[in-house]
Amino acid sequence: MIKRVATKPLSWLERALFIDFIKGLSVTIRHAFSRTITTHYPYEKLTPPKRFRGFFGHKVVDGNEPQPAYDEWVERFKIEVIPGKSRCVVCMLCKRACPVPQLFEIEGKKLENGRRVVSVFNMNLMLCTFCGFCVDACPVDCLFQSDIHETASYTRKDSILDLELLEKIGRDWQIRRENEPDRIWIDDSQREKLWHENKVRLPEPQFRGRHEW
């Protein structure tokens, strides 16, 4: 059965006195004299939340790798671990997870001492949909998505991220935001600025040890 829902029809008196017009006009005039909520974009920019899906990056080896996964993968592929360089173990799981695998171009090379290291890691972002499957697939927390969202460029060449650039983005990220708690808003004052009429306090982020999970 279809339940029909309708607003109460206006009485003739309400029609004659334009009550509905007046209601609407009162709403718009209240908005007209309240604060604007625009961010003046090129002059002021919002910091996206930490889980924002922006440009890709490679986190570098700095001693915070997820253990024991990282050591296992390093052992399996006999990877040369160089501090300050990409954590990539050339497992190709990102390429397998990708809906458009052609956008990855990954190669490793063998060093003199018999161990291996990633040599080529190109991502063609013209094909990318920023779905984040590759990031979920990465077993060593190497590939990640940063908060860089201004992706416009003058040439198509600029939309291809190579290994050097990925590492640079990763280093920058680890310095700026690695230790930040994961929440939607950058901080409460930011949230206040955007949604000041919604006075809900965010719960303080809680850091729990692994044994509590």
Partner 1 sequence: MESVVAGIIIAIIKILVILGVVLGVGAYLTWVERKVAAHIQRRPGPMVVGWHGLLQPLADGLKLITKEDLFPRYGNKFLYNLAIVLALVPATLVFAVVPFGPEFELFGYKIKPILTDVNVGLLLVFGLGSLAVYAIAIAGWASNSKYPLIGSMRKAGIIISYEVVITFAVMGPLILAGTLSTYEIVQKQIEQNLWYVWVQPVAFVVFMFALLAETGRVPFDIQEAEAELVTGFTVEYGGMKFGLFPLVEWYVEVLSLSAIAVVLFFGGWSPINIPFVGFVDPLFFLGPFSPYVWFLLKVTLLFLFILWLHWTLPRYRIDQITETAWKIMLPLTLINIVFTAVIAPVVWG
Q: Which residue has the tokens 């171009």?
A: 105
To the nearest whole angstrom, how small is the minimum distance from the Cβ of residue 119 to partner 1? 46
CA-CA distance, 191 to 183, in Å (whole number)?
Answer: 11
Question: Does 40 contact partner 1 by CB under 8 A?
Answer: yes
- In angstroms, the CA 153 to CA 187 distance is 30
Q: Verify binding: residue 157, partner 1, rule CB under 8 A.
A: no
Which of 24, 99, 101, 181 touches partner 1 (CB under 8 A)?
24
User: Which amino acid appears at position 120 of this protein?
Assistant: V
Cβ–Cβ under 8 Å, residues 55 and 187: no
7 binds partner 1 (CB under 8 A): no
Q: Is 198 in the site for partner 1 (CB under 8 A)?
A: no
Omega before 42 within 30 of 0, i.e. cis: no
Collapsing DSSP to helix, strand or coil, 161 comes out as strand
Considering only 1-9, 20-28, 79-87, 204-212, which stretch makes contact with partner 1 by CB under 8 A? 20-28
Cβ distance to partner 1 smaller for residue 7 or 38 = 38
The residues that touch partner 1, with contacts defined as CB under 8 A, are 21, 24-25, 27-29, 31-38, 40
